[in-house]
């Protein structure tokens, strides 16, 4: 299991943006997916979601059987 230093969390300005459960998310079973994809964007959540490529790729990939796509943001 990944251990993250607790002092890191005090630097996060809006932690709710990174907890998941947003509108139009497509939760899928990780164990059932034969291909798992992480769509990574090199900025905060609001900037990444305003880039139309991320939501389009997310929806298209998750519409394929056996494929699971998740989004991640690296501010």
Domain ranges of the chain: 28-75
Instruction: Please answer whether residues 43 and 11 qualify as being in contact, where contact means their C-beta atoms are separated by less than 8 angstroms.
Output: no
Give the model confidence (pLDDT) of 49-62 as tens digits: 888 998 899 999 99
Of 7-11, 42-46, 56-60, 62-66, least confident by mean pLDDT is: 7-11
Judge if pTM exceeds 0.85: no
* Residue 52: φ, ψ to 5°: -65, -20
């Amino acid at each position: 299991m990944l251990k993250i230093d607790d002092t890191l969390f005090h630097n996060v300005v809006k932690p709710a943006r990174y907890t998941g459960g947003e509108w139009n998310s497509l939760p899928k079973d990780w164990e059932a997916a034969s291909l798992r994809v992480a769509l990574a964007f090199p900025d905060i959540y609001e900037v990444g979601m305003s880039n139309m490529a991320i939501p389009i790729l997310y929806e298209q990939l998750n519409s394929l059987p056996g494929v699971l796509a998740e989004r991640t943001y690296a501010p």
